[in-house]
């Protein structure tokens, strides 16, 4: 049996650790249009469709520095899970440039181009004979890894829910040596840390 005092300590520890995050999520930050010299840091969690792999989930942390009004250099990470069970995936990072060409208090439309480098993980299947009574054919799943660069060009839209939260949509075309002419469309929720 679990000690009730230990259980209560775990709950208090969880509340103590999560409360500052809840407060941070509710605080406001500057919402004016990005100007030269400004730094933004955040994360976007999205779902999407890829014409090569099907559905995927993407986690996308970023930091961007505005070199001119509405024009930023962006350092970005990507972690994608492909397929219904999320066993295939991509993990990488890249540098891109992003230009906000139409912006209101709530809406932002942008174009983005950049280069990413990372690792695709997938599976190949090899036909093998397996013995269950008589010998029958089966498939063995073999993990494959591919390190590669990727050129990415896309456009996107962002709707600001508040000073920190946003809804993001993006379509992009990716060009790689092994997976050329790849098209992605994503829809997600963004959180601006700074």
pLDDT tens, 91-112? 999 999 999 999 888 899 999 9
Segment (H or E) for 21: helix 4-26
Q: Which position has the higher pLDDT, 85 or 116?
A: 116
More reliable by pLDDT, 121 or 45: 45
Higher pLDDT, 118 or 177: 118
Determine the pLDDT at residue 136.
47
Q: pLDDT at residue 88 above 80? A: no
pTM beyond 0.75, yes or no: no
- The beta strand positions in 104-164, using DSSP E, are 107-131, 135-160
Q: What angle is formed at CA 88 by the lines to CA 82 and CA 91, rounded to 5 degrees?
A: 85
| Digit-coded pLDDT (tens) for 148-190 | 898 999 999 999 998 889 999 999 998 877 665 688 899 999 9
| CATH T-level topology, domain 4-192 | Porin (2.40.160)
How far, in Å, CA of 73 to CA of 67, rounded? 7
Length of the chain: 194
Q: Which residue is it, tokens 């500052």?
A: 20
pLDDT for 130 equals 60
Residue 137 scores a pLDDT above 60:
no
pLDDT bracket for residue 135 (50, 70, 90)? very low
Domain locations in the chain as residue ranges: 4-192
């Amino acid at each position: 049996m679990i000690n009730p005092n230990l259980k209560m300590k775990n709950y208090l520890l969880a509340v103590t650790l999560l409360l500052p995050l809840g407060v941070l999520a509710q605080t406001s930050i500057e919402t004016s249009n990005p100007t030269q010299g400004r730094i933004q840091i955040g994360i976007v969690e999205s779902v999407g469709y890829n014409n090569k792999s099907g559905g995927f989930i993407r986690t996308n942390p970023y930091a961007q520095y505005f070199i001119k009004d509405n024009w930023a250099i962006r350092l970005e990470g990507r972690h994608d899970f492909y397929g219904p069970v999320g066993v295939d995936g991509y993990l990488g990072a890249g540098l891109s440039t992003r230009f906000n060409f139409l912006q209101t208090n709530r809406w932002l439309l942008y174009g983005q181009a950049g280069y990413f480098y990372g690792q695709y993980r997938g599976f190949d299947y090899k036909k093998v004979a397996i013995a269950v009574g008589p010998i029958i054919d089966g498939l063995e799943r073999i993990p494959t890894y591919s390190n590669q660069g990727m050129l990415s060009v896309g456009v996107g839209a962002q709707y600001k829910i508040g000073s920190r939260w946003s809804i993001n949509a993006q379509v992009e075309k990716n060009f790689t040596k092994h997976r050329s002419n790849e098209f992605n469309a994503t829809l997600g929720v963004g959180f601006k840390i700074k």
